[in-house]
Structure 1
Amino acid sequence: MQDPIKTLFAECIQTQIAAADLLQEPLERAADLLVESLLHGRKVYCCGENLAHATSRHFAHIMLTGLSFERPPFPVTSLHADYGALQHERMFAQQIQAVGQASDVLLVFNASTRAPRVSAAMEAALSRQMLIIAITQEADNDISGLLGPDDVEIRIPTTNTARASEHLLQVSNMLCAVAEHRIFPQETDS
């Protein structure tokens, strides 16, 4: 009988290896879009479906406070997840309708197959001519179909929600680190 903990580590490692091979190009495109938006004074809004919303909040926090070094805050906001809202399915969409502007960025996180609240936010972002970065997993059924040619999808190579959740956090840290180093290259030259 195989040790269940070793099996979990093996699954994590296998997903890491597959991600390293597949995600280089979409991560570069997402970082380019993020950096260009920040340098041009645009805002970034983020949200996540269910537990992935914690990753959205983490991403907004590290973009505001810094990940690798002390720096000025980036204008990134995690949309509020008011699960008691009357229109629960539209809670993120309503916020985008209220504050989203053309060429702002909506960054969405989803580790499961369905994402009704995030999909509604994406539709609102599209109506506002915003750009979208989507971090999803292989079995995503809702998000991919909403992306346009200027949007970016980072599709984590797994259908396992736990492995996808781990990688959402990793990708959010990577995007912040790349943005910091591109915007403040002098901090990494030492």
Structure 2
Amino acid sequence: MQEPVKAIFTECIQTQIASADLLQEPLMRAAELLVDSLLHGQKIYCCGESMAHASARHFAHIMLTGLQFERPPFPVNALHADYGANEHETIFAQQILAAGQPNDLLVVLNAGNQAPRISRAMEAAVSRDMLIIALTNEADQDVAGLLGPDDVEIRVPSRNTARVSEHLLQLVNMLCSLAEQQIFPQEDNP
């Protein structure tokens, strides 16, 4: 029984190593975009497709409450996923259309192949002249094609939904940590 467990750990480690090489530059660009939005008083919205929705909610929580130290809250809102809504696929888009303003930021997360709800949210964000940070994966078929030249994609180098989900959580923690370090450098304790 130990071999399957070791195989999972090995796959996790391999994804980590590949990510460390591939994701540094897009992660830093995303952090810069996030910090710029925060410093200019823009609102930040986040949502995730399917399993990634929990990571989006976690991101909003740590951006509001702080990750590494006590600080003022950052204006980040997790979009509500009302599964009882009549238009399930447009639930995030409706919220963006209702509240999104030019230069606000939408952070989307997708651990799977398709992302109809966040694709619609991205289309709504584009119509509102908002910027987008997309955390995706190698299997993503919907999100990358909706990004503009000023948007940022962080593409996890895996097609395994479980490995991608694990990595999305790590990436949102890293984005929050980088934002805190840049906005409050006096609090940075290595």
Q: Same fold (TM over 0.5)?
A: yes
Corresponding position of 1:24: 24
TM-score, reference length from structure 1? 0.98
Unaligned residue ranges in structure 1 (runs of 5+): none
Matched, 1:33 2:37: no
SS in 2 for 1:4: helix
Q: Residue type of the partner of 2:32?
A: D
1:102-122 CA deviation, whole Å, 9 max, x = no partner? 000000000000000000000
- 1: distance between equivalents of 2:14 and 2:136? 17
Matched, 1:10 2:13: no
Q: Pairwise mapping of residues 14-163 of structure 1 onto structure 2 (< 5 A)?
A: 14-163=14-163
Q: Residue type of the partner of 1:63?
A: M
Q: Residue type of the partner of 1:77?
A: N
- 1: distance between equivalents of 2:26 and 2:118? 20
SS in 1 for 2:162: helix
Compared with structure 1, are the counterparts of its residues 62 and 14 closer, same or farther at alpha carbon in structure 2 (3 Å cutoff)? same
Residue 51 of structure 1 deviates from its aligned partner by 1.2
Q: Residue type of the partner of 1:139?
A: A
SS in 1 for 2:17: helix
TM-score, reference length from structure 2? 0.98
Q: Residue type of the partner of 1:78?
A: A
SS in 2 for 1:83: coil
Q: Residue type of the partner of 1:151?
A: D
Compared with structure 1, are the counterparts of its residues 189 and 56 closer, same or farther at alpha carbon in structure 2 (3 Å cutoff)? closer
- 2: distance between equivalents of 1:80 and 1:89? 12
Unaligned residue ranges in structure 2 (runs of 5+): none
- 2: distance between equivalents of 1:38 and 1:2? 46
Residue 157 of structure 1 deviates from its aligned partner by 0.2
Across the aligned residues of Structure 1 and Structure 2, the Cα RMSD in angstroms comes to 1.1
SS in 2 for 1:158: coil
- 1: distance between equivalents of 2:169 and 2:189? 26
- 1: distance between equivalents of 2:19 and 2:189? 28
1:18-39 CA deviation, whole Å, 9 max, x = no partner? 0000000000000000000000
SS in 2 for 1:53: helix
Q: Residue type of the partner of 1:152?
A: V
Compared with structure 1, are the counterparts of its residues 165 and 189 closer, same or farther at alpha carbon in structure 2 (3 Å cutoff)? closer
Runs of 4+ in 1 over 6 A off after TM superposition: none
